[in-house]
Structure 1
Amino acid sequence: MAAAQRTYLDYNATSPLRPEVAAVMVRALQLPGNASSVHAEGRAARAEIEDARQKVARFVGAKAKNVIFTSGGTEAANMVLSPSLRRLGQPDATLLFVGATEHPCVLNGHRFPADVVETVPVDGQGIVDLAWLKARLEQASEERVLVSILLANNETGALQPVAEVARLVHAHGGLVHTDAVQAAGKVPVDMATLGVDVLTLSAHKIGGPKGIGAVVLASDQIEIADRLIRGGGQEKGYRAGTENIAAIAGFGAAAEAALAGLDEEAARLRGLRDEAEAHLRRVVPDAVVIGSEAERLPNTFAFAIPGLKAETALIAFDLEGIALSSGSACSSGKVRRSHVLDAMGVEPTLAEGAMRVSLGWKTTKEDVIRFAETCEKVVGILYKRKASAA
């Protein structure tokens, strides 16, 4: 019996592995050497790492020497969001400002005392309040401030004005981190254009392997004095431990693939996303697309259907072969009301029904059509069930 057809629309949680990435990883897995060894086998392993470092650096317009590999985006955020992230010769940061819609790895993963952390509010579209930030920076003129604002929200796709944030923060002598995990590979990401001091990345959002990410520093004048994982001198002492050569090589291959034809792929995904939204509005006229007035990632939209809870709807979609999600995938499989939507002021009963469609490199027009057909079917069944239970 043939397996049931599945339609995967959850790329913001993780992307399927690209075949060219898998091929690179298989080759790297067969290398016998440790990258810290000086013999030929060790040098071959080291070459894989440095080649990948160059590719990841090109991916975000950075220098290879400023790329530090980690186990993923969460570790990367934990590493950099420390009071000891600073310019050489300067004292530690004393305040941390984080956006209200940040990923949990930022909200829960920083290394600052709770009483020196403040939240930058957002508007109804999920965009940070620059006027609030400017005023608060002026009040904190005697403090060393680190500001963390993500580049693109994982739930709604909203793109933040990170370059403007960086200008404001630098004018007051502070530092800026951006979590670029969701944005990289979907929109152009260039460190010089953004003006940030450090950004963080993850491979599995762009068709690379899970369990590998990176910290990218703007220059060698930025340091993290308090290292998160201590031991040997790997990754220039920033991240101890024998390197995961296969995953690093896979990250490099994924970065190279995602960068090639980026504009064309973004246009393709935007067309599919807009078509999916149009189908949704046609088959469910009262559906609400959340944050639709903001500039968004080309592959993402969040929606809610009044009267339907996400937990019930996601199970119904899954039974019909459609993989969607609700909120962040980093909540132990639980469906709960999103802190992102709460920060945006979305009405609680609507927020409880929010779901996310996110497209990627394997998504086709047929996938979008199947989503629309399934949406009509699922909503009809759930509305009928709800009416009969009333």
Structure 2
Amino acid sequence: MPLTQTKDKISARLVATRAVQLVAEKGLNSDRALEDAGINKLANARDVSFARSICLGTLRWYQQLEVILSLLLDKPLQRKHQDIHFLLLTALFQLSKTDIARHGIVSETVNIVYTIRKKWAKGLVNGVLRNYLRQADSLNNKINGHPVAVSSHPGWLLQIIQTSWPEQWRDITDENNKQAPMSLRINVQRSCRKEYLSLLKTSGIHALGSDISPSGITLEAPCRIERLPGFDDGLVSVQDIAPQLAAGLLDLQDGQQVLDACAAPGGKTAHIAEASSGKVKLTALELDPQRLLLINQNMVRLGHKVDVKQGDACRPETWWSGQKYDRILLDAPCSGSGVIRRHPDIKLLRRATDIEQLAQQQLQLLSALWPLLKVGGKLLYATCSILPQENENVINSFLSQEDHAKELRIDVNYGHSRQYGIQILPGEHQMDGFFYACLQKN
């Protein structure tokens, strides 16, 4: 039974618990789940932040928390009492992974039992949480031999990561369980990194310039967008360092026709405009009309003139004018396995069967866009995945069926060189996991 709440007793913990249940049972992403759970009804920004942190933290450690809870319960709760199950998960996250006062966590969690009209569960909730506090060390020892619990990753995904990255898998799963840093990209048409770092310092925000992206900055600690000086005036955008590399890898030249396929929300589109000083003819393509609005909004804020089109990249005949492109960026839909630290709900929302379906879609996109590229032109293939099935394997399949395509090796001082392309793993140079491969038409 879904967790309900009275109108006058909404709390951050209640919203977080409800959101986790919606992700796990209804398959909603965390943003939509939090919205449906009532995060916008919370009294203040502090409560909103608290609810979001509990929700994302519980999702981040979901697999581990499930194992711990199973050890604390004599038997699983009935389906109609799954709201209590998720209430216990969020409480266990707070007890095991935060420095919130323990007595407060137990007390507030027990109070929620009354709010959701399940007074009968008071003793159960109180007992489970106090047993955890007494047995924490013993429970941690018990889960040490349970790879899914230790890594807090679903078994199918853990197996792929271990097989694909036998030397790095522990670092990958550890990074996936950390909170991602907040990185920025300077709009070089309106500012420069040195000037913007000075603005940040004046605003009391500590940050460092990236050693990988010349226009990139990583904050010492995340902050609200409203605190970023000049954000509304287009001085800066929020963007991880890894996707900031795309514009440089495209090797842009003045006057080129450039297509950014699957472009929303427009971060890489904007960076292409900035890196080329607006001297390329840039088209941004997006199928989803709502996400198309995000591109337009970002272009207006940043002051870029871009031809924004709605269309399906797999069906160029419905939107393409017939003029071929010098450069194509294909940031293909993927599993998001490289950005789990940013979107921990991926661990619950993705399934093993998704990967083959995504690989087929990625190959279809490559095949559909390739005829739009000029002879001598370059296509940059990118994903935010760390799985070979979506990356070098897709490129290998495409090259085996396309005689006039060749890979151009990417020679850089970051990432891991693969059979085709380069792979950035989560946390390397503070970046998200990302894959790039560059193809040229002969």
More helix, by proportion: 2
State the structure with more CA Rg: 2
Structure 2 length-normalised TM: 0.27
Structure 1 length-normalised TM: 0.30
Kindly indicate whether structure 1 or structure 2 has the higher relative contact order, using CA contacts under 8 Å at least 6 residues apart: 1
